[in-house]
Amino acid sequence: MTTTKRRAVLVGLAALAVSVVVAVAGCDAAGPVGLGGGAPGIEDGAYVTGQDDDRVLVSQRVFAWPDTDRMDWAQAPRIGVTRLAPGQSTEATLSVTRPFTRSQPFGDDLGYGKIALPDPVRDVVFCLGVIPSPYPLAIGMTEDDGVPTIAHGDASNEAQYLFCSDPVTLA
């Protein structure tokens, strides 16, 4: 299975920095990759969404199809992933600037009006999504410009394990 160590650190008042170490033991795994290249549609290398009334969720993960009959997408948005073999690890640091800007692969309006982030934001949680092999065919793994990508949607979301930090209180 997958072991994830994560540490969230508040850096000044202008940015949130998160360090993530992922180590895989026993199975091949794929997870979203941020920090630019290969992560289309992700601001600052991570998705930023609201969670609860005063919490922001910063994540590198896949999302299920939104539950709405007011919008239609021709195809699922895609996200770049990093594949790790058993015993392999990767480490990354990402920064998300403040004030936070909402970023989600299906957009900010699901047909009911613009979705806003909580205001004020009391704390932040970071989550990393990991999909262990064997990968479901429905996640649509392909390669775009040398970067493996998968489709957001129900199959990817259901196959995903989320590893989340404890909340970090903002000053």
Domain tally, the chain = 1
pLDDT for 94-132, tens place per residue?
778 888 888 888 877 776 778 889 999 999 999 988 888
Q: Could you tell me the residue range of the domain that residue 94 belongs to?
A: 2-169
- Give the residue from 68, 26, 59 showing the smallest Cα distance to 41: 59
Contacts of 135 (CB under 8 A, 6+ apart): 30, 141, 150, 159
- Give the residue from 31, 129, 118 showing the smallest Cα distance to 80: 31
Q: Are 100 and 63 in contact (CB under 8 A)?
A: no
pTM of the model: 0.77
- d(Cα 27, Cα 114) in Å, to the nearest integer? 40
pLDDT for 56-96, tens place per residue?
999 988 998 887 776 666 678 888 888 887 777 777 777 78
